[in-house]
Amino acid sequence: MTDLRAQTDLALGGRWTSLRAGEREWLWRNPAVSLAERAAARHGAAFVDAGGGEECLPSVNGDPARGHDHGDVWCRAWVGEPGDAAVRTDAGLTLRRRLTHERGVVRADYEISGRPGGRLLHAVHLLLDVSPDATLEVAGSPAVTRQDHPEPGAVTRSSWPDAAGVRLDRLGPDDGTATGAVVASDAVEVHDGDHTLRLSWGAEPGTPTSFILWRNLRGWPARDPYRSIGIEPMIGATTTLEGASADDVAHLGPNGTLRWWLEISG
């Protein structure tokens, strides 16, 4: 196993800027977005898809009408140091991330605090640089919820690896499609040639865990589409808080805190 090393940028939303194992860089960077454009992002503005990895809290899709596209922390400066940093939202949530490297494994320990019983979603929005031959491996046949299908705002439910006729375990060449799905699993492996990236995560009992797969094969945006592959470990089982059931979101405990962890190895 090759040691994996992570780098982050606290000034730019605590974003993950590198996941490197030897000569292999796993994080994708959007060549159409400059660092200056990403740095200019401000709270309430539209999400800037620069690539890398973004922290999405207290939602993933967020509520663009209220200026919370992809959540409330990705465009805020964090306080601390790379191994232990935190950020606070306008809604009173504090997200703390402790990042460690041990025996070739990158581990992020998260603690979210705020009003006891508060509802939230938190995803680590990782965009990966993988070839059309890359495949995904998930244990068993977990539930899959395909987003915005067959029309915007609707969902179609199936089981891995199917998503209403789309094979999610095969990333494939660009075909002009874009598929977003929530997969009810707490682990996934990405295989690309001789390289493998393993991700696993977990949370306190009673907290739903899943991951979002964003399989954009030059199907989005409508103007100047590009290829991007997102693997987003998360606590929760949906992409937005609005209208979500109690079973599909995470909740802060009676003491106002919630902890979860993410481990990545290459």
Domains of the chain by start residue, with CATH: 4-265 (2.70.98.10)
What's residue 61's pLDDT? 86
What's residue 144's pLDDT? 98
23 C-beta neighbours (distance < 10 Å), count: 7
Nearest 5 degrees, angle CA 5-CA 8-CA 14? 145
How far apart CA 240 and CA 242 sit, in angstroms, is: 6
How far apart CA 207 and CA 91 sit, in angstroms, is: 21
Q: What is the mean pLDDT of residues 159-169?
A: 96
Residue 30: name the closest of 100, 103, 104, 125 by CA: 125
What's residue 194's pLDDT? 95
What's residue 1's pLDDT? 57
Q: pLDDT category, 69, cuts 50, 70, 90?
A: confident
Mean pLDDT across the chain: 94
What's residue 238's pLDDT? 96
What's residue 91's pLDDT? 83
Cα–Cα distance list, 188 to 5, 107, 128, 141, 191 (Å) = 19, 15, 13, 12, 10
Residue 24 has pLDDT above 90, yes or no: yes
Q: Which residue has the tokens 């890398």?
A: 52
Q: What is the mean pLDDT of residues 181-207?
A: 97
37 C-beta neighbours (distance < 10 Å), count: 12
Q: What is the mean pLDDT of residues 29-50?
A: 89
Q: pLDDT category, 22, cuts 50, 70, 90?
A: very high
Residue 140 has pLDDT above 70, yes or no: yes
CA 231 to the chain's CA centroid = 6
Q: What is the DSSP string of 192-254?
A: ETTEEEEEEEEESTT--EEEEEEEEEEEESSSS-EEEEEEEEEESSSS-STT--GGGSEE--T
Q: What is the mean pLDDT of residues 241-256?
A: 95
The pTM assigned to this predicted structure is 0.95
Q: What is the pLDDT of residues 71-83, one digit of tens each?
A: 999 999 999 999 9
Is residue 55 within 8 A of residue 13, CB to CB? The reply is yes
Is residue 258 within 8 A of residue 204, CB to CB? The reply is yes
Q: What is the pLDDT of residues 90-121, one digit of tens each?
A: 889 999 999 999 999 999 999 999 999 999 99
What's residue 136's pLDDT? 98
Cα–Cα distance list, 218 to 53, 79, 80 (Å) = 19, 36, 37
How far apart CA 13 and CA 53 sit, in angstroms, is: 10
Q: What is the mean pLDDT of residues 29-45?
A: 89
How far apart CA 131 and CA 95 sit, in angstroms, is: 33
Residue 64 has pLDDT above 80, yes or no: no
Question: What is the Cβ-side half-sphere exposure of residue 219, based on CA atoms within 13 angstroms?
Answer: 14
Q: What is the mean pLDDT of residues 15-19?
A: 98
What's residue 67's pLDDT? 65
Q: pLDDT category, 45, cuts 50, 70, 90?
A: confident
